[in-house]
Chains A and B, each alone.
Chain A
Amino acid sequence: MKVDFWGQEFEANMFIGCIGGFLIAIMSSMFGFGGGPFMVPLMTLGLRLPMYIVVGSSLLAIFFNTAMGSFRHYQFGNFDLVLFLVMFPAAILGGYIGPKIAKKLSPVVVKRVACAGLVILGTKLLGLF
């Protein structure tokens, strides 16, 4: 498929994009997170698209998944209104404070900390220690 962006044309392999998106959507809706950190590598590496197309479009693609996943979870009775009302203001607050701190921190350091945190969390979930 040809993708037109600000006068530039790119060729995107939609077959890889759709299969990858499908699998990422199953995984992320199953565990209840967005899926952004998986979608961006898929679209930059898998589809060979430049970052500036990916940021906005991946968000749009993920939105479809989050909306559908939320609806299905609600349908299965997995949605707890009280817990949601606690989480929702916290997410807004975080989204408000986050960008203010972001300017002062190096993203590389943050990512390394996140990396270490994820390894600890992951091994803990696997019951390795």
Chain B
Amino acid sequence: MNIKFRVLPIIALAMALLFAPQVRAEQPAAAAGADAGAPTINLDKTSLDNGGDFVISGKAPAGSKVYIELWSAEKTVKANRFDGKKDPKTGKIPYKFYITQEMPAFYKIVAPVEMAGALDKAKTAGSKWKYSEVLKEIGADAAYTIPAKIQIDNYQATIMASILGSRGTLLPPMDAKASKRESMKLVKVRFRSVGNLLSAKVETAPDGSYSAKVSIRSGLAPGKYNARVTAVTERIKEGDKETVKKVTSEVASFENKIAFPTVYLSTAGTSINIIWPFLLASAVTIFGVLMGAGGGFILNPLLLMFFPLPHTVVAGTVMPTVLFAQGTGIYNYSKIKFINWKLGCGIGCAMLVGGFIGPKLTEMITLDQFKFLFGWVLLILAALMFWQTTPGYLANNKKEQAILKEFKKRAAEAAKAKG
């Protein structure tokens, strides 16, 4: 013990000595940066109330193109992508799975106003637009820094591993360039639309002073947000290689505040007014009871349609909510001996295996694929429902229901006599 206490101050002193010169060395460098025309940045508001508009202004070198990078500094979310597309060069399917936990919950680049046309063009491509290409086209690739540094794990998946419900073998980390390229794809998977990720709002005067009216929509992550300006002064093209000369400003911050009943869903990375999902879920479960089935298959697509939630979160959160109802149902039926355990557990074992695999598939598919498959599931279900209202089925069902009632009555009596 004593030795430890005596050693500690020495270590502290050593650390102080080590770091002190570095701190001193950094200051002149920063000052030199300012001399070289680093842009200034000012925000007219430092606090927003569940989104809102504010103005970013400052001065950049004259004649430069100004981009503003905005990101949430505190809240991060998960993003993942499965690469199952055939590589046009090698003709092989990569079967790679990429996942990060460090994606900022909000990310946007604001470009000069003259880029609006390019963005509108990208919007017409629908969900098939390519983030990296648009970034390059409007020159915003120079301002793309924050997601480029996130840690991305990549797995080599195989069909067999997916069937067993594993992500596959973890591969060594990608190099900075590959990681940056992949981060762009993950950003697109996470934020989906052109409008979410890019806007063209920066107006620049000939003397280099700029201003941009930025709007943060409601329903985003709360907490600290950062903004940084990148001014591109020159782009020199030499054959394939392009050198970008740019200067960046310091980071300016603002706060996004939300208040109850709006709450932040940390897994989904969005904040929502909880009253609406509550009402929706109540209405759907009531309807589900009337229909004689759970409401999950109606609730999930509606949640996806009305709220900006990822499909993995919707599926993963709605599923446990019915556990309790099923449990009480089983208990009630077992009390009157209305369950055949051999039959239920037999099929249950097969379903156990299926339930092990299914959630892995949710993770592997994109939102569009999820919607497509779910659409067909619902149409099949609609056909089943329709069949259950045809006269032949109804007549048969009436008989069955009568027997069911009779059995239930007998069972209840037997249970009573026993008790």
Contact = CB atoms under 8 A, between A and B. Distances in A.
A98 B375 CA distance: 26
Given A22-B353, A69-B358, A89 B289 contact: no
B338 A55 contact: yes
A122 B316 contact: no
Nearest to B332: A56
B268 interface: yes
A1 B358 contact: no
A78 B285 contact: no
B402 to A, nearest CB: 10
Looking at chain A's contact residues, the main secondary structure is: helix
A37 B372 contact: no
Contacts of B302: 121
B358 A28 contact: yes
Given A25-B354, A66-B323, A69-B355, A78 B312 contact: yes
A128 to B, nearest CB: 8
B294 A34 contact: yes
A95 B289 contact: yes
Nearest to A97: B286
B385 A32 contact: no
B315 A122 contact: no
B124 to A, nearest CB: 16
A66 B326 contact: yes
A31 B297 contact: yes
Interface residues of B, number: 111
Contacts of A59: 326, 329-330, 333, 339, 344
Contact of B342 (A3, A18, A25): A3
Interface in A1-59: 1, 3-6, 12, 14, 17-19, 21-38, 41, 43, 49-53, 55-59
B328 to A, nearest CB: 8
Given A62-B348, A64-B352, A83-B268, 18 more contacts: A3-B343, A25-B353, A29-B357, A30-B359, A32-B314, A34-B322, A53-B340, A58-B344, A61-B345, A78-B359, A86-B281, A87-B278, A87-B281, A90-B282, A91-B324, A114-B385, A122-B376, A127-B375
In the A-B complex, list the 10 residue pairs whose CB atoms are closest, starting with the nearest: A25-B354, A94-B285, A98-B289, A78-B316, A33-B296, A32-B315, A29-B358, A60-B344, A73-B316, A68-B355
29 contacts: A5-B340, A23-B354, A25-B355, A26-B354, A26-B361, A52-B403, A53-B343, A59-B330, A62-B348, A63-B326, A66-B320, A69-B319, A72-B358, A73-B362, A74-B320, A81-B267, A83-B268, A83-B277, A86-B274, A86-B277, A87-B278, A87-B317, A90-B277, A90-B285, A91-B281, A98-B285, A101-B286, A110-B287, A124-B301
Interface of A: 1, 3-6, 12, 14, 17-19, 21-38, 41, 43, 49-53, 55-70, 72-84, 86-95, 97-99, 101-102, 105, 107-108, 110-112, 114-115, 117-119, 121-127
Interface of B: 78, 165, 263-268, 274, 277-302, 305, 309, 312-327, 329-330, 333-334, 337-363, 370-379, 381-382, 384-386, 388-389, 394, 397, 400-401, 403-404, 407-408, 410-411
